[in-house]
């Protein structure tokens, strides 16, 4: 029974708390509202101005308006002056730019004339260099004739026989000639390669110059179009090419011209060097041809002289052989003539052996006959020995005659080979350095005989 009231009191506590919270909230709201009204009243009281302050404010507004009117009048005057100045400046700028465009067009046209003259000179030099290179290559091709003739001469001379197959001055000169030809070929091949490279560089610089000239033509066209533009012209736009960068165009043009002039001068220098090398090669070949031909003529002369000496030796040897043969025949007849007296003497001695008794003695006749037989036998032996010697001498002369005849035949073959070499080498005068002229024309040109001839 005692615990029930306590339980009821505990259940009523939350309801009391809610009522108390509502009362506290209303009380707080009323306090805050009262405080804010008090603060607002004080601020309004603070914002109120005094009359001096009001008058000062009005004066400030009047002064500010007056200043603004004065500033506006000055601004309008400045704007009018600015409009006049900008208008005048615009006209003068257009005039000056028109003058600049005209000067620019004249300057570019002047440069175009200079570059055109440079281009023509470079084209002419390029053509001359190409012709010089073609002439050098033709000269190189013509050297094949020298090589062929030199090889043919060596082949002909290699056909010599016996002791005529010797290493003489002609062979040395032929070797010098082929060495000279090889050196000339190497030199001219190098010059032709340089000419090709120079022609390529010259063509490249010409291409750059032509591109530069085309750019200048385009620039002149653009400048003329810009010169005739007016404010009312169609296509007027407000734009600016910010990607364009200024360059020293005159310096670039001058450098292009100088580079082309330098290449043209280098081409001219190379062309002169090629011409000089070609003329020097012709002169050296001509001198070597003369030296080789002279050596061949000397060889023919010396061989002919030796051949004539061998021919004289042959005649003398044949004459001596005939005399020797006659002497051998005489010795054989003399030997045959000794056979009768020997038989007679031996027969006498044989007959005297038939004597009898004391008559078979060694008397004076016996001694005389014995000595006669011995002398006859000795003489016959001497004659046989002399005949053998004479036959040996004859045989040796006959062998020598065969050698001389063989040597004469070798010398004849050698002379024929050298003469054929000289005849073959006559073609060199028509192949290189004479431009197809005949020997008569060549002699007339060298000795200026045409000046002495009567006019036709």
What pLDDT is stored for residue 341 in this prediction? 86
CA–CA separation, 66 vs 72, rounded Å?
10
Q: 345 Cβ partners below 8 Å, 6+ apart? A: 369, 372, 373, 376
Q: Which of 77-86, 110-119, 445-454 has the lowest mean pLDDT?
A: 445-454
Segment 275-283 shows an average pLDDT of 91
Give per-residue pLDDT as tens, 34-60.
777 665 655 555 556 677 877 787 888
Closest among 280, 281, 288, 298 to 149, alpha carbons compared? 288
- Could you count the other beta carbons within 10 Å of the beta carbon of residue 445? 12
What pLDDT is stored for residue 125 in this prediction? 92
- What is the pTM for the complete model shown? 0.63
> What value does the mean pLDDT of the chain take?
81
End-to-end CA separation in angstroms for the chain: 181
Q: What is the percent of the chain with per-residue pLDDT over 90, rounded to a whole number?
A: 30
CA–CA separation, 125 vs 322, rounded Å?
82
Segment 107-116 shows an average pLDDT of 90
Q: 391 Cβ partners below 8 Å, 6+ apart? A: 328
Tell how far CA 156 is from the center of its chain.
36
CA–CA separation, 432 vs 136, rounded Å?
12
């Amino acid at each position: 029974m005692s615990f029930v009231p306590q339980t009821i009191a505990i259940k009523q506590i939350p309801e009391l708390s809610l009522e108390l919270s509502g009362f506290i909230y209303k009380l707080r709201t009323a306090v805050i509202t009262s405080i804010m009204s008090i603060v607002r009243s004080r601020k309004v009281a603070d914002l109120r101005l005094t009359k001096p302050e009001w008058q000062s404010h009005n004066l400030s507004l009047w002064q500010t308006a007056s200043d603004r009117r004065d500033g506006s009048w000055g601004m309008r005057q400045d704007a009018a002056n600015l409009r006049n100045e900008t208008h005048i400046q615009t006209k003068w700028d257009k005039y000056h730019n028109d003058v600049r465009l005209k000067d620019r067009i004249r300057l570019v046209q002047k440069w175009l004339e200079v570059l055109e003259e440079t281009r023509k000179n470079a084209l002419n030099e390029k053509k001359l260099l190409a012709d010089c290179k073609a002439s050098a290559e033709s000269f190189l091709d013509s050297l094949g004739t020298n090589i062929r003739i030199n090889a043919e001469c060596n082949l002909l001379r290699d056909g010599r026989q016996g002791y005529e197959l010797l290493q003489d001055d002609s062979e040395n000169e032929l070797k010098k000639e082929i060495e000279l030809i090889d050196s000339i070929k190497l030199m001219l091949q190098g010059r032709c390669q340089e000419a090709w490279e120079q022609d390529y560089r010259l063509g490249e610089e010409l291409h750059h110059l032509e591109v530069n000239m085309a750019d200048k033509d385009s620039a002149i066209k653009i400048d003329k179009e810009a010169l005739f533009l007016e404010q009312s012209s169609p296509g007027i736009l407000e734009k600016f090419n910010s990607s364009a960068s200024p360059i020293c165009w005159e310096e670039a043009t001058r450098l292009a011209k100088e580079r082309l002039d330098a290449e043209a001068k280098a081409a001219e220098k190379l062309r002169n060097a090629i011409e000089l090398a070609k003329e020097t090669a012709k002169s050296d070949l001509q001198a070597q041809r003369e030296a080789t031909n002279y050596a061949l003529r000397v060889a023919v002369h010396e061989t002919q002289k030796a051949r004539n000496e061998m021919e004289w030796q042959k005649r003398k040897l044949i004459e001596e052989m005939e005399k020797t043969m006659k002497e051998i025949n005489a010795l054989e007849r003399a030997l045959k003539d000794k056979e009768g007296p020997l038989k007679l003497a031996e027969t006498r001695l044989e007959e005297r052996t038939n004597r009898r008794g004391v008559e078979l003695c060694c008397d004076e006749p016996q001694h005389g006959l014995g000595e006669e037989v011995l002398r006859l036998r000795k003489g016959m032996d001497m004659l046989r020995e002399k005949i053998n010697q004479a036959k040996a001498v004859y045989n040796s002369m006959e062998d020598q005659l065969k050698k001389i005849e063989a040597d004469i035949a070798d010398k004849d073959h050698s002379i024929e080979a050298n003469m054929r070499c000289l005849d073959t080498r006559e073609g060199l005068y028509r192949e290189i350095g004479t431009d197809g002229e005949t020997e008569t024309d060549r002699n007339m040109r060298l000795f200026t005989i045409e000046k002495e001839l009567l006019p036709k």
